[in-house]
Amino acid sequence: MNVLDLAHPAEEVAPKLLGAVLTHETSEGTVSIAITETEAYSGAADPASHAYRGRTPRNAVMFGPAGHMYVYRSHGLHWCANIVTGTDGIASAVLVRAGRVVEGEDLARERRGAKVEGPRLARGPGNLCRALGITAEHNGTDLLAGAPVTLSEGEPVSEGLIRIGPRVGVSKAHDWQHRFYLAGDPTVSAYRLSPRAKPSAGA
DNA sequence: TCAATGATGGGCT
DNA sequence: GCCCATCATTGAA
Protein backbone atom coordinates (compact mmCIF):
# COMPACT_ATOMS: atom_id res chain seq x y z
CA MET A 1 0.00 0.00 0.00
CA ASN A 2 2.86 2.29 0.42
CA VAL A 3 6.45 2.38 -0.57
CA LEU A 4 7.55 4.79 2.08
CA ASP A 5 11.13 3.87 2.70
CA LEU A 6 11.85 4.45 6.35
CA ALA A 7 14.98 2.34 6.61
CA HIS A 8 17.32 5.31 6.48
CA PRO A 9 18.67 7.83 8.98
CA ALA A 10 16.08 10.27 10.32
CA GLU A 11 17.55 13.29 8.57
CA GLU A 12 17.12 11.54 5.23
CA VAL A 13 13.62 10.31 5.89
CA ALA A 14 12.29 13.48 7.53
CA PRO A 15 11.94 15.53 4.31
CA LYS A 16 10.36 12.56 2.52
CA LEU A 17 7.65 12.36 5.15
CA LEU A 18 6.34 15.80 4.21
CA GLY A 19 3.02 15.22 2.52
CA ALA A 20 2.65 11.73 3.93
CA VAL A 21 -0.61 11.02 5.70
CA LEU A 22 -1.14 9.79 9.24
CA THR A 23 -4.51 8.19 9.84
CA HIS A 24 -6.09 7.15 13.12
CA GLU A 25 -9.26 5.08 13.05
CA THR A 26 -11.35 4.82 16.19
CA SER A 27 -14.91 3.97 17.04
CA GLU A 28 -15.63 7.69 16.99
CA GLY A 29 -14.43 8.08 13.46
CA THR A 30 -11.35 8.60 11.39
CA VAL A 31 -8.96 11.53 11.36
CA SER A 32 -6.24 11.90 8.73
CA ILE A 33 -3.47 14.46 8.72
CA ALA A 34 -1.07 15.35 5.94
CA ILE A 35 2.34 16.04 7.46
CA THR A 36 3.69 19.55 6.83
CA GLU A 37 6.54 19.77 9.31
CA THR A 38 9.04 17.26 10.70
CA GLU A 39 12.23 17.17 12.72
CA ALA A 40 14.95 14.54 12.61
CA TYR A 41 16.43 13.06 15.77
CA SER A 42 19.16 10.47 15.89
CA GLY A 43 20.83 8.59 18.69
CA ALA A 44 24.19 8.87 20.36
CA ALA A 45 25.38 11.57 17.98
CA ASP A 46 22.50 13.92 18.70
CA PRO A 47 22.57 15.77 22.04
CA ALA A 48 18.95 16.81 21.65
CA SER A 49 17.68 13.29 21.13
CA HIS A 50 15.99 11.33 23.87
CA ALA A 51 18.25 8.47 22.85
CA TYR A 52 21.45 10.49 23.32
CA ARG A 53 22.32 8.80 26.59
CA GLY A 54 21.54 5.34 25.35
CA ARG A 55 18.62 3.02 25.54
CA THR A 56 16.13 3.49 28.38
CA PRO A 57 12.65 2.09 28.96
CA ARG A 58 11.08 5.25 27.55
CA ASN A 59 13.02 5.57 24.33
CA ALA A 60 13.35 1.85 23.58
CA VAL A 61 10.98 2.19 20.63
CA MET A 62 13.43 4.55 18.95
CA PHE A 63 15.94 1.71 18.83
CA GLY A 64 13.45 -0.67 17.29
CA PRO A 65 12.56 -1.32 13.67
CA ALA A 66 11.46 1.50 11.38
CA GLY A 67 7.80 2.19 10.95
CA HIS A 68 6.86 2.05 14.60
CA MET A 69 5.57 5.05 16.48
CA TYR A 70 7.35 6.52 19.50
CA VAL A 71 5.01 8.53 21.71
CA TYR A 72 6.16 10.46 24.74
CA ARG A 73 4.69 12.94 27.15
CA SER A 74 6.01 16.46 27.16
CA HIS A 75 5.71 18.83 30.09
CA GLY A 76 3.20 16.62 31.77
CA LEU A 77 0.43 17.64 29.38
CA HIS A 78 1.17 17.02 25.76
CA TRP A 79 1.77 13.95 23.65
CA CYS A 80 4.33 14.00 20.87
CA ALA A 81 4.55 11.43 18.11
CA ASN A 82 7.66 10.24 16.32
CA ILE A 83 8.03 7.88 13.39
CA VAL A 84 10.91 5.50 13.96
CA THR A 85 13.31 5.21 11.04
CA GLY A 86 16.62 3.58 10.22
CA THR A 87 17.89 0.20 11.28
CA ASP A 88 16.68 -2.02 14.08
CA GLY A 89 19.08 -1.50 16.97
CA ILE A 90 20.07 2.06 16.10
CA ALA A 91 18.12 5.00 17.50
CA SER A 92 16.62 7.24 14.86
CA ALA A 93 13.24 8.90 14.63
CA VAL A 94 11.34 11.73 13.01
CA LEU A 95 9.22 14.00 15.16
CA VAL A 96 5.95 14.93 13.50
CA ARG A 97 5.54 18.59 14.42
CA ALA A 98 2.59 19.74 12.35
CA GLY A 99 0.07 18.71 9.76
CA ARG A 100 -3.06 19.61 7.90
CA VAL A 101 -6.31 17.82 8.66
CA VAL A 102 -7.51 16.20 5.47
CA GLU A 103 -10.19 13.94 6.90
CA GLY A 104 -12.37 14.02 9.99
CA GLU A 105 -12.01 17.71 10.70
CA ASP A 106 -15.14 17.74 12.83
CA LEU A 107 -13.81 15.03 15.09
CA ALA A 108 -10.44 16.73 15.27
CA ARG A 109 -12.07 19.99 16.29
CA GLU A 110 -14.10 18.17 18.89
CA ARG A 111 -10.94 16.70 20.39
CA ARG A 112 -9.28 20.09 20.44
CA GLY A 113 -12.25 21.49 22.29
CA ALA A 114 -13.83 23.98 19.88
CA LYS A 115 -12.36 27.43 19.45
CA VAL A 116 -9.65 26.00 17.27
CA GLU A 117 -10.05 25.32 13.59
CA GLY A 118 -8.36 25.24 10.25
CA PRO A 119 -4.58 25.28 10.22
CA ARG A 120 -4.39 25.43 14.00
CA LEU A 121 -5.97 22.03 14.50
CA ALA A 122 -2.67 20.22 14.11
CA ARG A 123 -0.06 22.95 14.47
CA GLY A 124 2.60 21.85 16.92
CA PRO A 125 3.40 18.32 18.06
CA GLY A 126 1.08 18.37 21.06
CA ASN A 127 -1.84 19.72 19.08
CA LEU A 128 -1.28 17.27 16.29
CA CYS A 129 -1.50 14.33 18.67
CA ARG A 130 -4.63 15.70 20.26
CA ALA A 131 -6.31 16.17 16.91
CA LEU A 132 -5.40 12.64 15.92
CA GLY A 133 -6.30 11.21 19.30
CA ILE A 134 -2.84 9.76 19.89
CA THR A 135 -1.78 8.96 23.45
CA ALA A 136 0.70 6.77 25.30
CA GLU A 137 -1.27 3.67 24.43
CA HIS A 138 -0.08 4.08 20.87
CA ASN A 139 3.57 4.00 21.83
CA GLY A 140 5.24 1.25 19.84
CA THR A 141 2.40 0.89 17.35
CA ASP A 142 3.43 -0.42 13.95
CA LEU A 143 2.33 2.23 11.46
CA LEU A 144 2.75 -0.10 8.53
CA ALA A 145 0.64 -2.93 9.90
CA GLY A 146 -2.77 -1.40 9.36
CA ALA A 147 -5.17 -0.08 11.99
CA PRO A 148 -5.55 1.73 14.21
CA VAL A 149 -2.82 4.17 13.27
CA THR A 150 -1.32 4.05 9.81
CA LEU A 151 1.15 5.98 7.72
CA SER A 152 0.57 6.23 4.01
CA GLU A 153 1.73 8.21 1.06
CA GLY A 154 -0.14 11.39 0.38
CA GLU A 155 -0.09 13.74 -2.51
CA PRO A 156 3.43 14.27 -3.83
CA VAL A 157 5.20 17.34 -2.57
CA SER A 158 7.40 19.27 -4.93
CA GLU A 159 10.92 19.47 -3.59
CA GLY A 160 10.99 23.16 -4.31
CA LEU A 161 8.57 23.74 -1.46
CA ILE A 162 10.66 21.98 1.14
CA ARG A 163 12.54 24.23 3.53
CA ILE A 164 15.22 23.31 6.04
CA GLY A 165 15.77 25.13 9.30
CA PRO A 166 16.83 24.89 12.93
CA ARG A 167 14.90 22.66 15.28
CA VAL A 168 12.28 24.21 17.48
CA GLY A 169 12.28 24.35 21.25
CA VAL A 170 15.20 22.04 21.94
CA SER A 171 17.70 23.09 24.58
CA LYS A 172 20.68 21.43 22.95
CA ALA A 173 21.95 21.42 19.39
CA HIS A 174 19.08 23.72 18.52
CA ASP A 175 20.90 25.06 15.49
CA TRP A 176 21.14 21.76 13.73
CA GLN A 177 19.42 22.06 10.38
CA HIS A 178 17.24 19.06 11.05
CA ARG A 179 13.82 20.59 10.69
CA PHE A 180 11.91 20.22 7.46
CA TYR A 181 8.74 22.02 6.50
CA LEU A 182 6.65 23.18 3.58
CA ALA A 183 7.26 26.76 2.54
CA GLY A 184 4.44 29.11 3.33
CA ASP A 185 2.22 26.46 4.85
CA PRO A 186 -0.05 27.96 7.51
CA THR A 187 0.10 24.82 9.63
CA VAL A 188 3.83 25.08 10.29
CA SER A 189 4.80 26.14 13.81
CA ALA A 190 6.61 29.39 14.32
CA TYR A 191 10.24 29.02 15.19
CA ARG A 192 10.95 29.32 18.86
CA LEU A 193 14.24 28.89 20.65
CA SER A 194 14.06 26.90 23.84
CA PRO A 195 14.19 29.11 26.95
CA ARG A 196 16.86 26.79 28.26
CA ALA A 197 19.00 26.77 25.16
CA LYS A 198 22.65 27.16 25.88
CA PRO A 199 23.92 30.47 24.50
CA SER A 200 26.82 28.90 22.69
CA ALA A 201 25.67 25.45 21.71
CA GLY A 202 27.80 23.83 19.09
CA ALA A 203 27.72 23.41 15.35
C1' DT B 1 14.63 7.93 47.38
C1' DC B 2 14.79 12.74 45.79
C1' DA B 3 15.07 16.78 42.88
C1' DA B 4 15.68 18.67 38.30
C1' DT B 5 14.33 18.78 33.62
C1' DG B 6 11.77 19.07 29.23
C1' DA B 7 11.42 17.74 21.27
C1' DT B 8 4.81 22.41 24.52
C1' DG B 9 0.76 25.21 24.34
C1' DG B 10 -2.40 28.56 26.00
C1' DG B 11 -3.52 32.51 28.36
C1' DC B 12 -2.40 36.89 30.31
C1' DT B 13 0.28 41.35 30.38
C1' DG C 1 6.48 38.56 24.77
C1' DC C 2 6.46 36.22 29.20
C1' DC C 3 4.76 33.02 32.45
C1' DC C 4 2.89 28.91 34.04
C1' DA C 5 0.62 24.22 34.36
C1' DT C 6 1.98 19.44 35.31
C1' DC C 7 4.29 14.66 35.46
C1' DA C 8 7.06 10.86 33.58
C1' DT C 9 11.71 10.02 33.13
C1' DT C 10 16.33 10.53 34.51
C1' DG C 11 20.59 10.86 37.06
C1' DA C 12 22.54 11.62 41.34
C1' DA C 13 22.75 10.99 46.52
For residue A30, is it within any domain? yes
pLDDT (tens digit per residue) in A147-178:
799 999 998 999 999 999 999 989 888 889 99
| Smallest CA–C1' separation from A170, nucleotide | B7
pLDDT at residue A198, rounded to an integer: 57
Is the residue at A127 inside a domain?
yes
Assigned domain for A58 exists: yes
A76 strand B contact, CB < 7 Å: yes
Q: Alpha helices of chain A — where are they, by DSSP H?
A: 10-16, 105-112, 125-132
Model pLDDT for residues A99-129, shown as the tens digit of each residue: 999 999 999 999 988 678 889 999 999 999 9
Residue A136 CB neighbours (<10 A): 10
- CA→C1' distance for A139 and C4 (Å): 28
Domain containing A58 — which CATH number?
Answer: 3.10.300.10
Does the residue A161 lie in any domain? yes
Q: Is residue A192 part of a domain?
A: no
| Cα separation, A22 vs A101, whole angstroms | 10
Asked, for residue A120, whether it belongs to a domain, the answer is yes
**Cβ within 7 Å of strand C: which of A 180-199?**
195
Find the range with the poorest average confidence among A74-83, A146-155, A156-165, A186-195: A186-195
* Number of separate domains in chain A: 1
Domain housing A77: 10-182
